[in-house]
Structure 1
Amino acid sequence: MTIFILSVSEHIFSTQRIYKEARRRGHEVAIINPLECSVKLSNGKPAIIYQGKDIIDIPDVIVPRIGVSTMKHGTAVVQQFEMNGKYSTASYSGIVNAQNKVRTLQIMSQHGLPIPHTVFSVNTETISEQIDLVGGAPVIIKLQEGTHGSGVILAESKKSAISIIDTMHSTRNSILLQEFIKESNGEDIRAFVVGDNIVSCMKRKGVEGDFRSNIHKGGSGCKIKLTPEEEAIAIQATKHLKLDVAGVDMIRSKRGALLIEVNSTPGLQGIEMYTKDNVAKAIVKFLENNVRTKL
């Protein structure tokens, strides 16, 4: 099987892990920088030009590792491969929807999955009312396209929340407001979903005094077992977003598990380090068992 990993650098930990596991299992693997790909469209067959060659027909599978910096062009490259009949572990629409927190939560809400009370608006005249709609202060303020805990603010009082929201609107940032789940105690759950299975799961805890639990912000993790409810939420979320490989983030509340985010390009370093699970191998085995049969 020929696998293309779409990544801006071969030195990224997650890219290297998938590459090495795929090579170890005997597959042809190439790391393709989507920013160096040119898509040619005409009346005839489209082409994807990379390093002077048309590569559109080469891979059996593509594994997109599309981050914020490569989103616009990277997803266009993914879509072109898909339109040429190539299987992708993350669909074009899934990547785009997962990147935007509002779109993700709209889809989750539509399908009845539990999420925190959330409000998004551009009306600066009703900020106080918007805060009340999610239960009042303290309130979480999020950039719609932030990553790794960046662009997430806890406003302790209504006054400070109004000031922060007004400032963000003035700088044309798209934001959402979310209820603060005090009982989560700065912890969340990352479930790593591959196909129909959760191949690894960890609980993440933020550094002392920080409500954010992201490993990238200095947090720590430990391996845990999900409840049947949490397993169902994680798997359903990836199905609704059309992602065969994804990280699903949840928090535990008095109302039960609440889904907060789905990541179409989940990192492997933190979860493999804290759980000792070989997530990269699980991804490659999924490709072998579920994709090769379609070739």
Structure 2
Amino acid sequence: MAYICEDELLNIYNSLEPKFESLGIETEVALIRDYLLKVTLSEAGNTLGKLIIDYSPKKGSHKFRRDSDLSEAEFEQILSILGEQLPEKKTDGGHKPNKTGMVPGQGTPMEEVSERYRAYVDGSFIDGMVGYGAVVLDNDTIAAEISGCVDDPEAIGSRQVGGELQAVVEVLEWCKKNSISEIAIFYDFQNIEKWATGKYRTNTPMTQAYKQYIDECRVSITWVKVASHTGVKWNEHADMLAKNGARRLEQASLFDNGPSRALSGWIVYNGSLLTPKFLEQVEWFIRSAKAENIELKPYRNDELGAAIIDGNWHLVMDSGYERPDFVIFWDKDIYLARQLERMGLRLFNSARAIYACDDKLLTHQILAGNQILMPKTIASPLVYPKGRVDEGLFIDKIEKVMSYPVVVKEAYGSFGEQVYLARDREELLALRKRLILVPHLYQEYIKSSYGRDCRLQVVGDKVVAAMLRTSAGDFRANISAGGSMTSFMPPASFINLAIQSARLVRADFAGVDMLFDEDGSPILCEINSNAHMKNIYECTGVDVVEHIIRYIKGKLLEGV
């Protein structure tokens, strides 16, 4: 028997599936009811959790929410992919938090907390790593900041829950060392208290060990429930410490006015491109990092031998290495990037973002369905070596969609190279035969933008620089192809498109190239995850590398 809104829910699901698939996220319908559908999301064989789609037949609209096994961080990223806004956050039972962040009817009321020492605890799960964090207050002064990574397999399997429990244990260990007999523990995951007090059954070795530890601990605990992610200062601080722990960062306090440990990072570049043009970029990053008290070590991709040994990830290097706080991945070696992420390292940009930008066809597939104006694009079908192909048959399909001239692009290319213009069927046929075994695509020629485009450099959620590129004798405007450049003040429509596009491919920073439509509105051309900075610096005077370094530093210290 069909459910009342089964067709509508499945139509919504079918429209979302390609977006997830293009980002490497697998989907499967887990449950369907009259007005609800649950979708299981997985990535690289790991289950992320379930996304819930609620459908209202009266309004003819739908909303998203997360199931209990999908973390808030993953949910926020998913909404970003779908172009949705976060729903108004409520706490357990639907209660909104009061000014103190307390949830009515849960835990000890804030005004009744009399303990001198208070601790805020939290856990985090990032890229397969579990972190714990806690800040201990003596009245309103920080007495201790606690942060670390949990290596226990069961804790990792339970995602951030293992970090939540470890944070409590670490706080109580701190109390023992400092002869503290009582403390108030503020938490946002209610099972912390329920398991400790026996109100919830402990049916796993991890929760049983936690309950036993609490029972045997002589420190008196007052449990205080706070609402998560509602701006409670010290709860957010504990969350930051937990995220640092998951990334194996040493503590770097936002509230400590004293000196903090210098961050350390790697910049990975390609070992086959050791020309001055490419090495200059690496040295530029190192100088800018040093100015921000960050030690940035350069590594060629062929120095970091990505290996799987005894079923685990390893780097085969000539000498030992210290784990960095972050990696600027200034290359397109996706296999290496993915391995570094699997080993728990934070990459800027991520492997997913680099892959999404490097493959021009994938870029357009990801952006499609988001009301972004792009040239008509047709992918060349996969052809196996020695296979028989009727090139003319496929050209017929191209001619049904677009007129001549036709732009032909290899899926992977930079600096305007591997981009061609076919003026008629004969030229198109010749190009197709030449590229038949190379991934490539066919695009609509935008006549109004002949020899003219613009690049907007996005860092975070801001456009920090922009330039106009022109060429009098070539349909491509790339500087490396002989074009010229001038500073450009982009209209709001260009800025919004650049930021939206970078966000959809999940890039921390990117060079977004746009063409001009007949009415002057922007047409998305491509996105560059590793856009070189020299030309835009010489044109505008804006040091984009400096912006990137400061962005990375801010992200790490905020624990985002």
Q: Deviations over 1:125-180 (max 9, x none)?
A: 423323324421011111111211111111122332233223322xx122211111
Deviation at residue 294 of structure 1 after TM alignment: 1.3
Gaps of 5+ in 2: 1-262, 382-389
Letter in 2 for 1:120: A
Measured at CA, do residues 174 and 39 of structure 1 come closer, stay the same or move farther in structure 2, by a change above 3 Å?
closer
Match of 1:258 in 2: 523
CA distances 1:15-35 after superposition (whole Å, capped 9, x unpaired) = 121111111222111011111
1:83 aligns with 2:342: yes
SS in 2 for 1:265: coil
1:102: how far off?
Answer: 0.6
Q: Which runs of 4+ in 1 moved over 6 A?
A: none
Match of 1:53 among 320, 336, 353: 320
Query: Aligned runs of 1:119-134 on 2, under 5 Å?
Result: 119-122=378-381, 124-134=391-401
Count of residue correspondences: 284
Asked if structure 2 preserves the Cα contact closer than 8 Å seen for 1:119 and 1:133, the reply is no
For residues 82 and 119 of structure 1, the distance between their equivalents in structure 2, rounded to whole angstroms, comes to 32
Q: CA deviation at 1:54?
A: 4.1
CA distance in 2, matches of 1:93, 1:133: 33
- Superposition pairs of residues 131-280 of structure 1, within 5 angstroms: 131-169=398-436, 172-206=437-471, 208-254=472-518, 256-280=521-545
The one of 365, 373, 379 aligned to 1:106: 365
Q: Could you list the per-position Cα deviations for residues 87-127 of structure 1 after superposition, in whole angstroms to 9, with x for gaps in the alignment?
A: 21111111112111111111111333211011123362423
Aligned partner of 2:36 in structure 1 is: none
- Which structure's relative contact order is higher, taking Cα pairs within 8 Å and 6+ residues apart? 1
Q: Secondary structure at the match of 2:473?
A: coil
* Separation in structure 2 between the aligned mates of residue 91 and residue 112 of structure 1, nearest angstrom: 25
Quick one: which amino acid aligns to residue 4 of structure 1?
A: W
Q: Determine the C-alpha separation between the residues in 1 that align with 2:400 and 2:268.
A: 41
Q: Tell me, what secondary structure is at the counterpart of 1:110? A: coil
Task: Identify the residue that residue 288 of structure 1 maps to in structure 2.
Answer: 553
CA distance in 1, matches of 2:540, 2:482: 17
2:282 to 8, 12, 15: 15
Q: Tell me, yes or no, if the aligned pair for 1:143 and 1:173 is still in contact at 8 Å.
A: yes
Deviations 1:31-63 (A, max 9, x none): 1111111234345863324332144xx211111
8 Å contact 1:13–1:268 — kept in the other structure?
no
What do residues 161-209 of structure 1 show as CA deviations (whole Å, max 9, x unaligned)?
Answer: 233223322xx12221111111113111111111111111111113x31
Amino acid at match of 2:320: K
| C-alpha distance in 1 between matches for 2:365 and 2:393 | 21
Identity across the alignment (%):
25
Aligned residue identity for 1:6:
V
Question: 2:456–2:465: 8 Å Cα contact kept in structure 1?
Answer: yes
Q: What's the C-alpha RMSD, in Å, of the aligned pairs?
A: 2.0
Distance 1:53 1:10, change over 3 A: farther
Cα displacement string for residues 215-237 of structure 1 (whole angstroms, at most 9, x for unaligned residues): 11121111111121111111111
State the match for 2:264 in structure 1.
Answer: 2
Question: Which whole-Å CA distance do the structure 2 matches of 1:263 and 1:133 have between them?
Answer: 30
Letter in 2 for 1:2: S
- For the structure 1 residues 163 and 36, does the alpha-carbon distance in structure 2 shift closer, same or farther, using more than 3 Å as the test? same
Q: Return the TM-score normalized by structure 2.
A: 0.48
* 8 Å contact kept, 1:102–1:144: yes
Looking at structure 1, the residues matched to 527 and 405 of structure 2 have their Cα atoms a distance apart, in angstroms, of 24
- The aligned amino acid for 1:82 is E
In 2, Cα distance between equivalents of 1:216 and 1:34? 25
User: How far apart are the structure 1 equivalents of 2:413 and 2:473?
Assistant: 21
Contact 2:391 2:429 in 1 (8 A): no
Partner deviation per Cα, 1:261-280 (whole Å, 9 max, x = no partner)? 11111101111111110111
Residue 298 of structure 2: aligned partner: 31
> Which range moves more in the overlay, 158-167 or 218-227?
158-167
SS of alignment partner, residue 191 of structure 1 = strand
Max radius of gyration: which structure? 2
Which ranges in structure 1 are unaligned for 5 or more consecutive residues?
A: none
Aligned-partner residue type, residue 221 of structure 1: M
Q: Distance in 2 between matches of 1:44 and 1:124?
A: 45
1:151 is matched by which residue type in structure 2?
A: Q
CA distance in 2, matches of 1:285, 1:146: 29
One-letter amino acid matched to 1:48:
L
Evaluate the alpha carbon distance shift between residue 10 and residue 286 of structure 1 in structure 2; reply closer, same or farther with a 3 A threshold: farther
